[in-house]
């Protein structure tokens, strides 16, 4: 009888340890990101304020030097969260490689500036010129092609697209005259223009276009099998955005870490990004559809935005009153 009781207690103890271990593992997340600034600035704010820990998550962030490599990491199971470009992550479900879902759209517009050398003053001057992108299939590549097509330029035939790297590398290529044009993030535009080599040909944020540019993408299986983890991820980003929008001095310190020390430049960058970040970062059909259209994948026309996004987790957070409590009012989005 004593032996049977001992075995029973050992079995219960083993089960409890397994459950605790599984719970701990489920809260250990590998997050992938690509590029600097914008989403990285938000993530840094969250790290400083220990938002992950507050939500019971142990997150390790891993940098990838292009969005196309980031998607491969998601496909290979090396990461379970991406908070960088939404469009490149869409290539996974659109191509049939992996079922993913966009659960937040933190910025629902294009944010980069199309920068060119001084000798290029209008879009048609780009014919025959060299344009830098991160990697083929990355967000910078997809966005560049979309913008070129909007200017009636064929990205396959009328320009030379060169794989260069993320914004810092593209900036260096522009400064050295190795390329004639490239997308530059808001954090880098002041440095490029101050050199006197280049001009801002077009500020893409001024386009009247909803576009799911930056947000959180996870495997669909995470939402099905670990919904509480997905909810905590969303809670963390919602609070992170709140802190970004309400603690400018904290963001200035992050920008200073990146080498942006001029108060006027830091304020300009902060005002732009704070305006763009959405208090209620719900994925919306128009923004997802426009990002989908930018892919140029043959399957894209057969895919509906609803198949690429999941709004239920964020809607659940909204219904809990969490966002209203943060802001002391109902959240609002500028776009």
Q: Tell me: the pLDDT tens digits for 281-333?
A: 999 999 999 999 988 888 998 999 999 999 999 999 999 999 999 999 999 88
- State yes or no: pLDDT of 21 exceeds 80: no
What's the pLDDT score for residue 273?
94
- One domain for residues 307 and 169: no
What's the pLDDT score for residue 26?
66
Note the pLDDT tens digit of each residue in 237-290. 999 999 999 999 999 999 999 889 999 999 999 999 999 999 999 999 999 999
Residue with tokens 């997150």: 59
Rg of the chain over Cα atoms, rounded to whole angstroms, equals: 22
- One domain for residues 84 and 222: yes
Q: What does the pLDDT average to over 123-135?
A: 95
Domain total of the chain: 2
21 domain-assigned:
yes
Measured CA distances, 97 to 62, 132, 224 (Å): 22, 27, 18
Which DSSP state fits 97? S
Q: What is the pTM of this model?
A: 0.86
- One domain for residues 179 and 277: no
- One domain for residues 161 and 285: no
1 domain-assigned:
no
236-264: b or e for each residue (b if 16 or more CB lie within 10 Å)? bbbbbbbbbbeeeeebbebbeebebeeee
52 domain-assigned:
yes
> What span, in angstroms and rounded, lies between the C-alpha atoms of 244 and 180?
34
- One domain for residues 323 and 227: yes
- One domain for residues 16 and 158: no
- One domain for residues 215 and 319: yes
- State yes or no: pLDDT of 44 exceeds 50: yes
Domain boundary among 144, 175, 206: 206
- One domain for residues 94 and 126: no
Provide the percentage of residues in the chain whose pLDDT is more than 70.
92
**Which pLDDT band holds residue 135 (cuts at 50, 70, 90)?**
confident
What's the pLDDT score for residue 23?
39
**Which pLDDT band holds residue 9 (cuts at 50, 70, 90)?**
very low
Domain boundary among 155, 171, 206: 206
SS3 333: coil
Backbone angles phi, psi at 211, to 5 degrees: -150, 115
What's the pLDDT score for residue 37?
72
- One domain for residues 158 and 104: no
332 domain-assigned:
no
Q: What does the pLDDT average to over 97-102?
A: 98
53 domain-assigned:
yes
Decide which of 38 and 186 is more confident.
186
What's the pLDDT score for residue 39?
78
- One domain for residues 25 and 117: no
Of 59, 53, 87, 52, nearest in space to 71 by CA: 87
What's the pLDDT score for residue 75?
97
> What span, in angstroms and rounded, lies between the C-alpha atoms of 332 and 61?
29
Domain boundary among 147, 174, 206: 206
Note the pLDDT tens digit of each residue in 156-199. 999 999 998 888 889 999 999 999 999 998 888 998 999 999 99
Decide which of 202 and 7 is more confident.
202
Give me the CATH number covering residue 165: 3.40.190.10
**Which pLDDT band holds residue 107 (cuts at 50, 70, 90)?**
very high
Helices (H), 131-208: 139-150, 167-176, 186-194
Mean pLDDT of the chain: 90
335 domain-assigned:
no
192 domain-assigned:
yes
333 domain-assigned:
no
Task: List the domain range (segments joined by +) for residue 37.
Answer: 6-109+211-327
- One domain for residues 318 and 194: no
- One domain for residues 241 and 264: yes
Of the listed ranges 19-23, 92-96, 191-195, the least confidently predicted one is 19-23
């Amino acid at each position: 009888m004593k032996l049977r009781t001992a075995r029973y207690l050992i079995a219960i103890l083993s089960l409890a340890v397994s459950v605790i271990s599984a719970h701990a593992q489920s809260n250990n997340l590998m997050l992938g990101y690509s590029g600097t600034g914008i989403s990285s600035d938000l993530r840094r704010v969250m790290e400083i304020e220990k938002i992950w820990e507050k939500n019971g998550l142990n997150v390790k962030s891993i940098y990838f030097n292009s969005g196309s490599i980031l998607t491969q990491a998601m496909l290979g199971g090396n990461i379970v969260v991406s908070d960088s470009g939404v469009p490149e992550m869409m290539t996974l479900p659109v191509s049939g490689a992996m079922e993913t879902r966009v659960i937040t759209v933190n910025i629902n517009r294009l944010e980069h500036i199309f920068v060119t050398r001084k000798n290029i003053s209008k879009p048609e001057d780009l014919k025959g010129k060299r344009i830098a992108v991160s990697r083929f299939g990355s967000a910078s590549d997809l966005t560049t092609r979309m913008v070129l097509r909007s200017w009636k330029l064929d990205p396959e035939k009328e320009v030379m697209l060169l794989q260069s790297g993320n914004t810092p590398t593209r900036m260096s290529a522009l400064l050295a005259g190795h390329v004639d044009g490239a997308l530059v993030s808001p954090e880098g535009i002041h440095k490029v223009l101050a050199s006197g080599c280049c001009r801002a040909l077009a500020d893409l944020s001024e386009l009247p276009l909803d576009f799911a540019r930056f947000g959180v993408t996870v495997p669909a299986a995470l939402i099905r099998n670990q919904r509480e983890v997905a909810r905590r991820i969303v809670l963390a980003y919602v609070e992170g955005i709140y802190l970004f929008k309400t603690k400018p001095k904290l963001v200035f310190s992050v920008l200073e870490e990146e080498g942006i020390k001029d108060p006027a430049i830091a304020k300009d960058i902060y005002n732009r990004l704070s305006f763009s970040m959405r208090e209620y970062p719900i994925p919306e059909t128009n923004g997802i559809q426009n990002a989908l259209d930018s892919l140029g994948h043959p399957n894209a026309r057969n895919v509906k935005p609803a198949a690429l996004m999941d709004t239920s987790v964020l809607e659940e957070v909204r219904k809990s009153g969490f966002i209203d409590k943060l802001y002391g009012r109902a959240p609002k989005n500028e776009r």
